[in-house]
Amino acid sequence: GAVVSQHPSRVICKSGTSVKIECRSLDFQATTMFWYRQFPKQSLMLMATSNEGSKATYEQGVEKDKFLINHASLTLSTLTVTSAHPEDSSFYICSARDAGALETQYFGPGTRLLVL
């Protein structure tokens, strides 16, 4: 149980385009999902907290107009990187918190984004 999927697993795009990443909780309901960014050999940096049915809460320094988050259902959250630039290249990871076990976060496999 407690499986979180992400799609796509990797994406290469041209500078200026937008990229959408999906995060799904497959076998549990997630009232809250989190989006992280991870640079090589570094820890996870929380970008935003996504609550089902309400606006996402962004961490300081994260542009909400650049990283659009939608959490339309209890099993799906999406992150859209708008007008991507090479500096947005990174490993994006989502996690989902089981509504029945509020403390535990389960992570997706990550999405490798490369912006050319």
Please report, as ranges, the residues that interact with other proteins according to CB under 8 A: 4, 6, 32, 34, 42-44, 46, 49, 93, 97, 102-110, 112
Nearest to 1 by CA among 22, 19, 26: 26
Among residues 14 and 40, whose Cβ is nearest to other proteins? Answer: 40
Distance separating alpha carbons of residues 108 and 105, to the nearest angstrom: 10
Among residues 39 and 85, whose Cβ is nearest to other proteins? Answer: 39
Distance separating alpha carbons of residues 39 and 91, to the nearest angstrom: 6
Angle at 65 between CA 33 and CA 20, to 5 degrees: 55
Shortest Å, Cβ 110 to other proteins: 5
Q: List helix spans (H) across the chain.
A: none
Among residues 73 and 104, whose Cβ is nearest to other proteins? Answer: 104
Which is it for strands 111-115 and 4-7: parallel, antiparallel or unpaired?
unpaired
Distance separating alpha carbons of residues 60 and 58, to the nearest angstrom: 7
Shortest Å, Cβ 83 to other proteins: 26
Shortest Å, Cβ 107 to other proteins: 4
Shortest Å, Cβ 16 to other proteins: 27
